[in-house]
Structures are given as C-alpha cells and as structure tokens.
C-alpha cells in the first residue's frame, strides 16, 4: 500500500471520530463559585489597584452601588468618578473575555479545572459570545436567580450561559 493511501485513510478516520458525539461533564455549582471568587481576587484586585493609582486613593473611598441604594445622601457626598468606574468595567471585561477566548479559562477556572466553551460545539467561544456572557453576569446578579438556575438544569448552565450560548465544563485533562 502506498503511503499516500495510508495517509488518506488516517485522515478519514479522524474526520469520522470528529463527528462523533463528545461526552462532556458540566461543571458543578461549587466549582464555579470557587472559580468566581478566585477570579474576583486574581483579576479584580490588579485592576482595582491600577484604578487606585491612576485616579488616586480617594477614589477607593467613593460611594458604591450599595451606598446608592441604602444611603443616597452619603452617595451624593462621595460620588465616584464615572470615568474610573467605566474604565474598571471595561478593563475587567477585556481581561475576562481574553482569558476565556484564549484558553477557555481564567485563573480561577484553571484552579477549579473547568473551562468556558461554546455550548453547541464544545470549542472555544467567540469574543462576541464571551462579551455577552460578561454582560450576562450583571443580568444574573440583578436577578440573583440567574446564578442559581444551574442548580435546576441538567446541563448546569446559568442564566448568563443561556444568554450567551456558552457552557462551563470540567476540564481535568488541562492540568499537568
């Protein structure tokens, strides 16, 4: 048999295997919580420190969203700089979407051995999907129920996963 024929046969076998249904294990609630809390520290702290050094220490003492709800007068007295707030959100969104797109993992997800993927193809999601996923975090946060929908679903997808057509799966083969 010629090498060319052998090579074609192996390619055809690979393409048949690629079309087979892949069995995945969806990441559980507590793994996702661990990853989220770790990411708040690992991604959020450097961005917060950058904002603090850029806009000054007084920016850290400005009102938060909770202050606006609980004590509007204090929030008016210590109003945050809108530029710093928007910059913090944009930097955070860029960091998360780049991590998710490049490897499917943020530092917290790598620690928890889970990965964000496109729900249909189980491959890395597009930047558009991941941007929608990041915005979906706020929708899940506002509704509160959004984070807990994964407890009620067989595929463990939360509201922001459903909105962005992504899924979080176990990825133990990544850790080496």
The DSSP result for 100-118, as a single string, is HHHHS--HHHHHHTEEEEE
Rg (CA), the chain: 21
Residue 2 counted as domain residue: no
Residue 61 counted as domain residue: yes
Q: Using CA atoms in the order 165, 135, 39, 128, what is the torsion angle rounded to 10 degrees? A: 50
Question: Cβ neighbours of residue 3 under 8 Å, at least 6 residues apart?
Answer: none
Say yes or no to pLDDT of 5 above 60. Answer: no
Q: Are 118 and 166 in contact (CB under 8 A)?
A: yes
Segment 10-25 shows an average pLDDT of 53
pLDDT at position 14? 39
Residue 11 counted as domain residue: no
Q: Give strand ranges (E) for the chain.
A: 114-118, 166-170
Region of residue 100 (left: phi > 0; alpha: psi -120 to 50; beta: else): alpha
Residue 15 counted as domain residue: no
pLDDT at position 73? 79
pLDDT at position 82? 81
Number of domains in the chain: 1
pLDDT at position 172? 77
Q: Picking from 19-23, 41-45, 55-59, 130-134, which range would have the lowest pLDDT averaged per residue?
A: 19-23
Residue 161 counted as domain residue: yes
Residue 21 counted as domain residue: no
Q: Using CA atoms, how far apart are residues 69 and 134, in angstroms rounded to an integer?
A: 23
pLDDT digits (tens, 9 = 90+) for 45-57: 999 899 889 888 7
Say yes or no to pLDDT of 3 above 70. Answer: no
Q: Are 62 and 83 in contact (CB under 8 A)?
A: no
Segment 59-79 shows an average pLDDT of 71
Q: Using CA atoms, how far apart are residues 125 and 104, in angstroms rounded to an integer?
A: 8
The pTM is what? 0.78
Between 19 and 150, name the one with better pLDDT. 150
Bridge-based pairing of strands 166-170 and 114-118 is: antiparallel
Cβ–Cβ contacts within 10 Å for residue 107, how many? Answer: 14
The parent domain of residue 143 ranges over: 26-174
pLDDT digits (tens, 9 = 90+) for 80-123: 778 888 898 999 999 999 999 999 999 999 999 999 999 999 99
């Amino acid at each position: 048999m010629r090498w060319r024929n052998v090579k074609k046969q192996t390619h055809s076998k690979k393409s048949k295997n690629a079309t087979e249904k892949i069995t995945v294990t969806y990441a559980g609630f507590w793994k996702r919580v661990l990853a989220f809390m770790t990411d708040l520290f690992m991604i959020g702290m450097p961005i917060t420190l950058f904002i603090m050094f850029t806009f000054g220490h007084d920016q850290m003492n400005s009102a938060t969203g909770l202050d606006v709800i609980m004590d509007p007068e204090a929030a008016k007295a210590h109003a945050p700089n809108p530029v710093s707030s928007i910059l913090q959100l944009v930097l955070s969104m860029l960091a998360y979407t780049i991590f998710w797109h490049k490897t499917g993992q943020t530092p917290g997800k790598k620690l928890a051995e889970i990965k964000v993927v496109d729900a249909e193809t189980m491959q890395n999601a597009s930047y558009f999907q991941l941007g929608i996923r990041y915005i979906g975090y706020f929708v899940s946060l506002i509704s509160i129920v959004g984070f807990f929908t994964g407890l009620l679903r067989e595929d463990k997808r939360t509201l922001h996963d459903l909105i962005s057509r992504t899924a979080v799966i176990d990825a133990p083969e990544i850790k080496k």
